[in-house]
Amino acid sequence: MDSPMILVVIGKNEVEEFLHYKDLIPRLEVALGEFSKPDREDIQPVRCTVPLQRYNGFLGLMPAYLAHEDFLCTKMVCFYKRESGSNLPSTRATVLLIDPEYGNVNAVMDGDVITAKRTAAVSAISAKLLMPAKSEVFTILGSGHQALSHYNVFTETFSFKQVRVWSWRRESSERFAQAALGPVTVCESVEEAVNGADVIVTATRATEPVLFGQWVKPGAHVAAVGACRPDWRELDDVLMSKAEVYVDSREGAAAESGEVILSGAKVFAELGEVLNGTRPAQREKTTVFKSLGMGIQDAVAAKLVFEQWKRHH
Ligand SMILES: NC(=O)C1=CN([C@@H]2O[C@H](COP(=O)(O)OP(=O)(O)OC[C@H]3O[C@@H](n4cnc5c(N)ncnc54)[C@H](O)[C@@H]3O)[C@@H](O)[C@H]2O)C=CC1
Ligand SMILES: O=C(O)C1=NCCCC1
């Protein structure tokens, strides 16, 4: 028998309505744990990238198969090294849900909200595991899409006394502070923004270091979200050498992370290994979580959206 060929299109508003951190975080924790098991069944190749030199960008293809759930999808994400003053988004993404048995596409979904929320949710998981026990000051470097989703999930999940933002342009930081649901202190420099911070998220389009180890308080946790090419950096060598480095995928970091490749820093663990209890969370040390994004994270989020969509239609 053939598969029923029904194709649905799920837009940004619906994805936003159906994807909640409270559901996403526990499912991501399970998926990251499964991914880091030596006998994992879920399949996720390292992102395949197609350079778009004319547009100063890349197309990234991110397929994933969640074996236990028999769920197959692929994200297609274009990312661009925009000019510093550009208001265009640096990433645009779409997710295709594919029937694993017949190969037809069941759904086409907006991938921008999925990318923003799953990335922020994974950084929040890293902070839950690795930030100092008494974390009071939270700093975000960058004021774009990822900065906002990180602000949302971090303030929803943790109680900080102060939230700070720094961005290249003061107007963007001020716009960010106005859009935020609680008080945000706008800082003039990275050094001022991170001085004494317990938790730092770097979510910029920088390709050279913006965060220097000499400014980072010993014991702080840094979730480094930008710099997703082997020759791009947000963090300097001092920070990479003084921190214990955690990643989402060792294989991904070895292939794609400028922070890891160029600094020569050793990766201590995948987040999934910490979740499985096979590697410790060194909360008392300075820690960096180098995030690159994974197809299985998109799959977890897309599955949640599709389940909710089916319940509502
Ligand atoms: N780890 C992951 O899973 C993912 C990582 N990303 C990466 O996260 C970063 C942020 O993405 P979005 O928020 O979507 O981008 P966006 O374009 O919305 O925001 C980028 C921010 O970086 C700032 N910026 C631009 N050039 C800069 C520079 N040279 N130095 C310092 N700041 C600079 C901009 O002013 C803006 O505040 C990008 O590098 C993107 O590739 C995006 C999606 C997923
Ligand atoms: O995981 C993702 O999605 C992305 N990661 C790096 C930058 C582009 C999107």
Q: Please compute the mean of the pLDDT values over residues 81-92 and round it to a whole number.
A: 83
Ligand 2 — pocket residues by CB below 6 A?
60, 77, 79, 91, 115, 228, 292-293
Inside any domain, residue 2:
no
Residue type, 261: I
Tell me: do 108 and 232 sit in the same domain: no
276-281 own/partner pairs: CB under 8 Å, 24+ apart? 276/33, 276/36, 276/37, 278/36, 281/129, 281/130
Q: Are 227 and 210 in contact (CB under 8 A)?
A: no
Check residue 82 and give its pLDDT: 83
Check residue 4 and give its pLDDT: 61
Tell me: do 308 and 220 sit in the same domain: no
- The whole-angstrom separation of Cα 18 and Cα 20 is 6
Tell me: do 137 and 204 sit in the same domain: yes
- The whole-angstrom separation of Cα 45 and Cα 48 is 8
CA dihedral 203, 220, 243, 185 (to 10 degrees): 30
Check residue 2 and give its pLDDT: 55
Tell me: do 91 and 143 sit in the same domain: no
Tell me: do 200 and 249 sit in the same domain: yes
Inside any domain, residue 3:
no
pTM here is 0.97
Ligand 1 near 202 CB (within 6 A):
no
In ligand 1, the atom with minimum distance to the C-alpha of 88 is: 17
- Burial-class residue 129 by CB neighbours within 10 Å (0-12, 13-18, 19+): buried
Tell me: do 167 and 234 sit in the same domain: yes
Q: Please compute the mean of the pLDDT values over residues 70-98 and round it to a whole number.
A: 92
How crowded is residue 79: how many other Cβ atoms within 10 Å of its Cβ? 22
Check residue 3 and give its pLDDT: 57
Q: Please compute the mean of the pLDDT values over residues 152-178 and round it to a whole number.
A: 96
In ligand 2, the atom with minimum distance to the C-alpha of 75 is: 3
Tell me: do 145 and 106 sit in the same domain: no
In ligand 1, the atom with minimum distance to the C-alpha of 294 is: 3
pLDDT in tens, 13-40: 999 999 999 999 999 999 999 999 999 9
In ligand 2, the atom with minimum distance to the C-alpha of 119 is: 1
Rounded distance from Cα 49 to ligand 2 centre (Å) = 11
- The whole-angstrom separation of Cα 46 and Cα 63 is 9
Rounded distance from Cα 157 to ligand 2 centre (Å) = 23
Tell me: do 136 and 270 sit in the same domain: yes
- The whole-angstrom separation of Cα 15 and Cα 110 is 7
Residue 214 domain boundaries: 116-294
CA atoms within 13 A on the CB side of 179: 15
Check residue 58 and give its pLDDT: 97
Which three-class secondary structure state does DSSP give residue 218?
coil
CATH of the domain at 270: 3.40.50.720
How crowded is residue 34: how many other Cβ atoms within 10 Å of its Cβ? 19
Beta pairing, strands 91-98 & 105-110: antiparallel
Q: Report percent pLDDT > 70 for the chain.
A: 98
Rounded distance from Cα 312 to ligand 1 centre (Å) = 34
Residue closest via CA to ligand 2's atom 2 equals: 293
Q: Are 116 and 91 in contact (CB under 8 A)?
A: no
Which three-class secondary structure state does DSSP give residue 95?
strand
Domain count, the chain: 2
Residue type, 291: S
Which three-class secondary structure state does DSSP give residue 185?
strand
Q: 235 forms bridges with which residues in the sheet?
A: 211
Inside any domain, residue 191:
yes
Check residue 87 and give its pLDDT: 76
Contact residues for 86 (Cβ-Cβ < 8 A; gap 6+): none
So what's the ipTM on this one?
0.99
